[in-house]
Amino acid sequence: MHKSNDLFETAKKYIPGGVNSPVRAFRSVGGTPFFTKRAEGPFLYTADDERLTDFVCTWGPALHGHNHPEIRDAIQVALEQGTSFGTPNPYEVEMAQLIEKIVPSVEKVRMCNSGTEATMSAIRLARGYTQRNKIIKFSGCYHGHVDSLLVQAGSGALTLGNPNSAGIPESFANETIVIAYNDEAALAQVFDHYKDEIACVIVEPYPANCGLILPNTNFLSTLRQITTQHQAILIFDEVMTGFRIALGGVQEKEGITPDLTAMGKIIGGGLPVGAIGGKAEIMDHFAPDGPVYQAGTLSGNPLALAAGIASLKKCIRDNPYPLLEKLGNRVKTALDETAKEKGIPLQVPQVGSMFALFFSEKPVTNFAEATQSNTDLFTTFFNQALNHKIYLPPSAYETCFISTAHDSTIMESAVEGLCDALKKI
């Protein structure tokens, strides 16, 4: 990794920590991050000419694999017309129509540039619509680096959040109430205490930024019921799960209809994008029709939307979800069997093309349980997998992704490598 090492040393002189997103620094798994010079299908090719089987998939967007020719061709067609216009463009209309057709809860769509922008704007919209200030989030659910959302729970269900990033005024955090995911009793207690002060509840319906945590049987339906009862807005953050768990996301799979949905990743086809969608009555509170201001120079960028439209149309045409479920289950089953055989405490939550690794004796149902897993074992496993030319997320609290480019031959080779890596920890 001489070239990657050299690049990292140079990067540290000009970029904070040498990276433009903290998890890329490999701080939690040790060693020096590799630099990628190109990606194709299920593979990353490093600056040192190593080929790695990729289970990060650019943190979700690469549902169809890297550098897919249909997406690349769509970008090329758009590129010939220009890179950005600063005016409405036809791609925006087509994307809005596609999302409205696909996502059960969406009647209108506002495009933006990232998942962080989408969640930030959705919360502002919920506050403007309800004329209330307080929001509820769940510990372990990451919704981007938004000031009021970078908070963690204190002790007790009614404890107001404390900032867990420098630079966030305590007054911002005091409007955010944090409770444990899957805790219906705490949810009821919070609503009983704050009554008409709560503007919205924002949730990753399947939390996937602290590993992968799945909801208890009635949790999401209870969440929908209690927000309706108290006239609070229910926001699903489907930036990760949207168009990946199912065509219509978790809300389609679970049959739960939120009021607003934050989207991103796959609808950009690998380029920067975000979107907020939801009920027309709420969405019409965005400017210019309403009082809630939201804007962006590159919102609805033609290159990003051309890529995203190609990505979505391929999902509609090919219906990759049964295949992705089969591939995901293959990884889970193999790792479960190997862990049991070797006496290794491992949980592998999996749904569709997403899976995670918790080195824990018991299934993980919330963030507190996730943080009790053995991160030293994960670090060893991560590095053993990398020795087998398999790239996993460089953190014990992230989710792995599979693409349709992980065909049966590639997947069997990767599964063999992962199981061998597990035996060596």
Domain map (residue ranges) of the chain? 2-63+320-423, 69-318
pLDDT of residue 161: 42
346-to-8, 218, 394 alpha-carbon distances in Å: 33, 26, 17
- State pLDDT tens for residues 198-236: 999 999 999 999 899 999 999 999 999 999 999 999 999
pLDDT of residue 253: 97
Ramachandran angles phi, psi of 110, nearest 5°: -120, 120
Q: Please tell me which residue in 54, 129, 134, 142 is annotated as part of the active site.
A: 142
pLDDT of residue 338: 98
pLDDT of residue 145: 80
pLDDT of residue 155: 29
Q: What HEC string does the chain produce?
A: CHHHHHHHHHHHHHCHHHCCCHHHHCCCCCCCCCCEEEEEECEEEECCCCEEEECCHHHCCCCCCECCHHHHHHHHHHHCCCCCCCCCCHHHHHHHHHHHHHCCCCCEEEEECCHHHHHHHHHHHHHHHHCCCEEEEECCCCCCCCHHHCEECCCCCCCECEECCCCCCHHHHCCEEEECCCCHHHHHHHHHHHHHHEEEEEECCCCCCCCCCCCCCCHHHHHHHHHHHCCCEEEEECCCCECCCECCHHHHHHCCCCCEEEEEHHHHCCCCCEEEEECHHHHCCECCCCCECCCCCCCCCHHHHHHHHHHHHHHHHHCCHHHHHHHHHHHHHHHHHHHHHHCCCCECCEECCEECCECCCCCCCCHHHHHCCCHHHHHHHHHHHHHCCEECCCCCCCCEECCCCCCHHHHHHHHHHHHHHHHCC
C-alpha neighbours within 13 Å on the C-beta side of residue 204:
29
Cα gap 152→76, rounded to integer Å:
43
Give yes or no for a contact between 190 and 157, defined as CB atoms under 8 angstroms apart: yes
Cα gap 210→213, rounded to integer Å:
8
Q: Which residues pair with 46 in a beta bridge?
A: 36
Sign of the torsion angle spanned by Cα atoms 181, 331, 243, 390:
positive
pLDDT of residue 154: 30
| 142 part of the active site | yes
| The CA-based dihedral angle spanning residues 294, 256, 181, 118, taken in that order and rounded to the nearest 10 degrees | -10
Ramachandran angles phi, psi of 208, nearest 5°: -135, 15
CATH tag, 2-63+320-423: 3.90.1150.10
**What parts of the chain have a pLDDT lower than 70?**
151-165
pLDDT of residue 165: 67
| 137 part of the active site | no
Cα gap 172→49, rounded to integer Å:
46
Please give the class, per CATH, of domain 69-318.
Answer: alpha beta
Give yes or no for a contact between 141 and 125, defined as CB atoms under 8 angstroms apart: no
| 265 part of the active site | yes
Q: Please tell me which residue in 91, 134, 206, 237 is annotated as part of the active site.
A: 237
Q: Please tell me which residue in 265, 314, 321, 397 is annotated as part of the active site.
A: 265
